[in-house]
Amino acid sequence: QKEVEQNSGPLSVPEGAIASLNCTYSDRGSQSFFWYRQYSGKSPELIMSIYSNGDKEDGRFTAQLNKASQYVSLLIRDSQPSDSATYLCAAQIYNFNKFYFGSGTKLNVKP
């Protein structure tokens, strides 16, 4: 079992819709969680971080964390074609200074 699991997709949504991306993690020692966006051939770019249970909003993005269920999600409202990319979920086990990444979910936003 991988430390962080994501559905590889692709997830296709029409422009203007809400895209919902999900991630589960296996290590209950994970304390911090991150969502990165990666365009093809480029390096990951941080979108959001979340550390506490509940929701965290930043513009069109909302991250949700449920530690009891070991579940992290990212909602993208009013999706734009420029949001089309691979979204990587990462978990940090703080005391060990390691980050574990999922394999990413490819999002396609159709005009």
Partner 1 sequence: DTGVSQNPRHKITKRGQNVTFRCDPISEHNRLYWYRQTLGQGPEFLTYFQNEAQLEKSRLLSDRFSAERPKGSFSTLEIQRTEQGDSAMYLCASSPKGQSQETQYFGPGTRLLVL
Length in residues, the chain? 111
Task: Scan residues 40-59 and list those touching partner 1 (CB under 8 A).
Answer: 42-46, 49, 51
Residue 95 is a binding residue for partner 1 (CB under 8 A)? no
Report the candidate in 76, 74, 82, 72 with the shortest Cα–Cα distance to residue 33.
Answer: 72
SS3 category, 95: helix
19 binds partner 1 (CB under 8 A): no
User: Rg (Cα) of the chain, in Å, rounded?
Assistant: 13
Judge contact between 80 and 17, C-beta under 8 A: no
Q: Which is nearer to partner 1, 51 or 71 (CB)?
A: 51
Omega before residue 14 within 30° of 0, cis: no
Total of chain residues touching partner 1, rule CB under 8 A: 26
State yes or no: residue 61 binds partner 1 (CB under 8 A). no
Please tell me the distance from the alpha carbon of residue 103 to that of residue 7, in angstroms, as a whole number.
8
24 near partner 1, rule: CB under 8 A: no
| Of residues 62 and 101, the one with the C-beta less far from partner 1 | 101
Binding to partner 1 by residue 39, rule CB under 8 A? no
Query: What residue ranges bind partner 1 (CB under 8 A)?
Result: 4, 6, 8, 31-32, 34, 42-46, 49, 51, 88, 90, 92, 94, 96-104
